[in-house]
């Protein structure tokens, strides 16, 4: 990022709506936590870890990502993970975040739900107080597990309803359609949670339709396969349902062979409410600024397009009205500076 022509991309006030906290685990922290918790890793050193981060599709990544998550044991571990992400946000001028966490990845290993949520939410509270980064936290259900597991997870979350703002759906997309989770999403909606779901990342456009019509989500995570379906495009443009697109993730998981083939700017030109996000930055080679840099380098992203992408993120966020207004003010200050 030492290239001065990237400075404006780092200074751009940003909002992140698609970020898995477990996907921010940097190799250095992985080694530190493994040592702290006496866990043996299948890697000798950081170079080994980096070599393992070569993926041909989503499942290759998920296998390594779930293995990495085994180093989290205590509330302090979840705090440290979240805090490290927030420091990165501060460095990249990310002002508002709506991170995901995957409780089932941890409860299935015998870690209490309470341990996970307390560590994460203490760090988010500190981030708001000390760094001025506002947040809404989203709990994801793992779609390769059953709906009854998801319902049990929702029940565990009820005690912490003041700390969790939304629910989402992630993990292995193909073969696990949104409809599988219709009951748990309906229950979550009745309890007042905001709803999002990964759809149309590797899976077909029909998964975007059913996320909208069956799960009744407020946002679609990824959604790039919408480009295969003109009727769906019209629906998404008319409704302005946001799509949280993750450029570096899509090239790392080979959804696109190369960033020069990414369709995000075509989607923006069509009038879709697309946003830029980092997904699992430690695994995919970059946080928010690096995602914007990649669009600038490979797709000649302009300042006008970058500003529109941020406006979309502010609009698409679950931030309160007053906070949205202050985010727009920060963006205006950037535009006029
Ligand atoms: N979990 C973490 N990252 C994910 C992604 N990109 N797709 C589905 N599940 C995920
Ligand atoms: Zn994701």
DSSP character string of 139-160: EEEETTS-HHHHHHHHHHHGGG
Give residue 1's pLDDT band: very low, low, confident or very high (50, 70, 90): low
Closest CA relative to residue 102, chosen from 205, 182, 27, 24: 24
Closest CA relative to residue 99, chosen from 179, 154, 18, 173: 18
Ligand nearest 22 Cα, by number? 1
Instruction: Decide if 9 is inside a domain.
Output: no
Angle at 52 between CA 177 and CA 64, to 5 degrees: 35
Tokens of 228: 């295969």
User: Distance between the two ends of the chain, CA-based, in angstroms?
Assistant: 21
Instruction: Decide if 335 is inside a domain.
Output: no
Q: What residue numbers bound the domain in which 162 lies?
A: 14-324
- Measured in residues, the chain has a length of 337
Instruction: Decide if 89 is inside a domain.
Output: yes
Does 280 sit in the ligand 1 pocket, CB within 6 Å?
yes
Instruction: Decide if 44 is inside a domain.
Output: yes
Task: Quote the ligand 2 centre to 234 CA distance (angstroms).
Answer: 24
Instruction: Decide if 310 is inside a domain.
Output: yes
Task: Quote the ligand 2 centre to 333 CA distance (angstroms).
Answer: 30
- pLDDT tens for each residue of 116-139: 999 999 999 999 999 999 999 999
Task: Quote the ligand 2 centre to 277 CA distance (angstroms).
Answer: 9
Q: 3-class SS at 255?
A: coil
CA–CA distance, 259 with 299 (Å, rounded to integer):
8
Ligand nearest 249 Cα, by number? 1
**Domains of the chain: total:** 1
CA–CA distance, 207 with 228 (Å, rounded to integer):
12
Does 330 sit in the ligand 1 pocket, CB within 6 Å?
no
- pLDDT tens for each residue of 294-335: 999 999 999 999 999 999 999 999 999 999 999 999 999 999
> In CATH, what number is assigned to the domain containing residue 236?
3.20.20.140
Query: Measured between alpha carbons, how far is residue 5 from residues 2, 9, 95, 173, 295 in Å?
Result: 9, 8, 22, 37, 13
Q: For the chain, give the mean pLDDT.
A: 97
Say if residues 327 and 13 touch (Cβ distance below 8 Å).
yes
> What backbone phi and psi angles, to 5 degrees, belong to 43?
-125, 145
Q: Which residue has the higher pLDDT, 280 or 3?
A: 280
Instruction: Decide if 4 is inside a domain.
Output: no
Range 12-20 average pLDDT? 98
Instruction: Decide if 81 is inside a domain.
Output: yes
Range 268-273 average pLDDT? 98
Ligand nearest 24 Cα, by number? 1
Q: Return residues with CB closer than 5 A to ligand 2 (ion).
A: 279
Range 174-198 average pLDDT? 98
Instruction: Decide if 1 is inside a domain.
Output: no
Catalytic residues: 201
CA–CA distance, 104 with 110 (Å, rounded to integer):
10
Q: Which atom of ligand 1 is nearest to the CA of 280?
A: 3
Query: Measured between alpha carbons, how far is residue 164 from residues 104, 139, 160, 186, 292 in Å?
Result: 15, 7, 7, 16, 28
- pLDDT, position 109: 97
Give the closest residue (by CA) to ligand 1 atom 8.
Answer: 171
């Amino acid at each position: 990022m030492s290239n001065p022509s990237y400075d404006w991309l780092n200074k751009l006030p940003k909002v992140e709506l698609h970020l898995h906290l477990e996907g921010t685990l940097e190799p250095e922290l992985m080694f530190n936590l493994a040592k702290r918790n006496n866990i043996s890793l299948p890697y000798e050193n950081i170079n080994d870890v980096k070599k393992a981060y070569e993926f041909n599709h989503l499942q290759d990544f998920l296998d390594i990502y779930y293995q990495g998550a085994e180093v989290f044991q205590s509330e302090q571990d979840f705090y440290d993970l979240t805090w490290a992400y927030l420091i990165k946000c501060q460095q990249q001028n990310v002002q508002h975040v709506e991170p995901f966490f995957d409780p089932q990845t941890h409860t299935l290993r015998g870690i209490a739900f309470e341990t996970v949520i307390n560590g994460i939410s203490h760090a988010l509270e500190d981030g708001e107080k000390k760094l001025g980064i506002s947040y809404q936290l989203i709990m994801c259900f793992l779609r390769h597990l059953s709906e009854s597991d998801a319902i049990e997870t929702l029940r565990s979350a009820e005690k912490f309803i003041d700390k969790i703002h939304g629910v989402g759906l992630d993990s292995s997309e193909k073969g696990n359609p949104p409809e599988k989770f219709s009951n748990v999403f309906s229950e979550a909606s009745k309890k007042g949670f905001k709803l999002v779901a990964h759809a149309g990342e590797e899976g077909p456009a029909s998964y975007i339709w059913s996320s909208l019509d069956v799960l009744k989500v407020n946002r679609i995570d990824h959604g790039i396969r919408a480009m295969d379906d003109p009727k769906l495009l019209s629906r998404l443009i008319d409704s302005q349902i946001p799509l949280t697109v993750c450029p570096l993730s899509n090239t790392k998981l080979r959804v696109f062979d190369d960033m020069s083939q990414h369709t995000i700017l075509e989607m923006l030109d069509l009038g879709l409410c697309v946003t830029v996000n980092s997904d699992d930055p430690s695994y995919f080679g970059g946080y928010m600024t690096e995602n914007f840099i990649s669009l600038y380098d490979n797709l000649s992203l302009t300042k006008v397009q970058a500003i529109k992408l941020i406006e979309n993120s502010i609009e698409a966020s679950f931030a309160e009205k007053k906070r949205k207004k202050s985010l727009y003010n920060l963006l205006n200050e950037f535009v006029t500076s």
